[in-house]
Structure 1
Amino acid sequence: MLDDTDRRILRQLQSTPEARAAEIAERAGVTPATYGRRIERLRVAGILRGVRGVIDWQALGYAVEVSLRVTLDKTQPRAFDAFIEAARAVPEVLEIQTFLGQVDARLSVIARDMAHYQQLYRDRLLTLPHIADIEALMHVARVKGRETLPL
């Protein structure tokens, strides 16, 4: 599906997404016109979903990150749908993942400090629908965090 030219373009785009298209094309060894056609083809194929700004939430005053492992009451019809819909409405929930197994969902949550997290936990997170059990895992350090793929 991807040839060597596509891989070179994607590697350059991942390494410096803020660069101008002409710069990325030059580093990938293609003309700007070829770069444009390839990027459009990758978008249409659903391989390249977009280029986005990544914001350092800690620089904005959020110092606490918590992962919540949630088990839902699956005896309730549409428990997953109701839970996910409500969790999406909490701005401090950065990520929602669902699983098969004992844990049904994982929420990645940020807060300004422990007092903010405690208020958020009591007022917004514990009130999410259909929670049977919840376990909080406080992040200590991010040892590895990448968004780039080995192309």
Structure 2
Amino acid sequence: MLTDEISRRILRHMQAEPDLPMAELAQRAGLAAGTCARRLEKMREAGIYQGVQAIINWAALGYSVEVSLRVTLDKTQSRAFDEFIEEARKIPEVSEIHTFLGRVDVRLAVLARDMAHYQEIYKTRILTLPHIADIEALMQVAAIKMSEDLPL
């Protein structure tokens, strides 16, 4: 039931318009509101549907610089990943942390108001993170596609 066509239809509508009222969502999915709500709750319990998220335009709030940092860790320490990630989570301007297999171990997305603010974050917070062996900064010029939607 959780991955049948009716559930996928609900999810398609949720992806397209996450703020649809339940009655409207149910109507578009061809269900009664109570049935739709129960299906959505079952998908939430199964971890398929994780809720609605606010998308904030950080540039409109004065954060005009986004830098992607590719970090290679000194893996001679057994807890290098855990300690690095634990400390990186504490930096409020780090909006994303991703781990990888390969030459690059971790990618951090850092938001800053301007270059001076970024330089302060980099010098006082990023470079003090433990176990950094190498770091490469990539300045974002434009976000072309940002979507977590998948075909359902």
TM-score normalised to structure 2 length:
0.96
Unaligned runs of 5+ in 1: none
Percent of paired sites with the same residue: 64
Q: CA-to-partner distance for each residue in 1:22-78, whole Å, 9 max, x for gaps?
A: 111111211101101110110111101121212111111100001000000001120
> Is the partner of 2:121 in helix, strand or coil?
helix
Equivalent runs, 1:1-150 vs 2, <5 Å = 2-150=3-151
Task: Name the Cα RMSD after superposition.
Answer: 0.9
Alpha-carbon distance in 1 for matches of 2:44, 2:74: 39
Paired residue type of 2:33: P
**Alpha-carbon distance in 2 for matches of 1:113, 1:30:** 49
Q: Normalising by structure 1, what TM-score? A: 0.96
Mapped to 2, the partners of 1:140 and 1:110 lie a distance apart of 13
Number of equivalences: 151
User: Which AA in structure 1 matches 2:123?
Assistant: R
Residue 118 of structure 1, CA deviation: 0.6
The code of the aligned residue for 2:71 comes to V
What do residues 116-146 of structure 1 show as CA deviations (whole Å, max 9, x unaligned)?
Answer: 0011110100111000000000001111111
Give the unaligned 5+ runs of structure 2.
none
2:146 alignment partner AA: G
